[in-house]
Amino acid sequence: MVIVGRPRGFDEETVTAAAAALFATRAYDGVGVDDLVQHLGVHRNSLYKTFGSKRGLYLAALHWHVSHVLQPLIDQLRSGRDPEQFFDHVTRKGNLDLLLLAAVERAPADTEVAAVVAQALQLLEQAIDDVPMLPSGRTGKIALSELLGERVRVRALSAG
């Protein structure tokens, strides 16, 4: 495979990460392609050439979020050091927002999103379940629900 033609002036992963940040703030339909073009600094044509469609970019951003944000947090939790910091990163900072929005808003309308969300939730649940010395009677499922709900509350109150 020989590279031919003008090289692209943007880094695909950087753009994907920026898209993830944007999709984490507003609902899918609330983020226009114009917004993406403006915040990502990449032209429409390049976006469509690279990701195919707005949905393609969203799916790429969601996958990136799971593997480059959630997975490191999971790894950190599994390392056993500072489980409190995991809680903080997830609830206080917005590291769960894209997954949360995807679960609540997109998943019911997009089976592919639903599948990614389901897998991510499973990963999180399992990781929490494997934490030693979890208070008795508290499964990973319950602890994860508490995490998600806590973030819902914080997010809802953060505006106004």
Residue 107 contacts a copy of itself per CB under 8 A: yes
Signed CA dihedral, 133, 135, 137, 139: sign only? negative
Q: Which of residues 87-106 bind a copy of itself (CB under 8 A)?
A: 100-105
Q: Which of 8, 11, 27, 85 binds a copy of itself (CB under 8 A)?
A: 27
Rounded to a whole number of angstroms, the minimum distance from the CB of residue 40 to DNA is 11
Q: State the Cα–Cα distance between residues 132 and 54, nearest whole angstrom.
A: 42
Q: Identify the residue whose tokens are 């609330």.
A: 30
108 binds, among a copy of itself, DNA, none (CB under 5 to 8 A by kind): a copy of itself
The type of residue at 127 is: A
Q: Would you tell me how many other CB atoms lie within 10 Å of the CB of residue 121?
A: 17
Residues that bind a copy of itself (CB under 8 A): 25-30, 100-105, 107-109, 111, 114-115, 117-118, 121, 141-142, 144-150, 152-153, 155-160
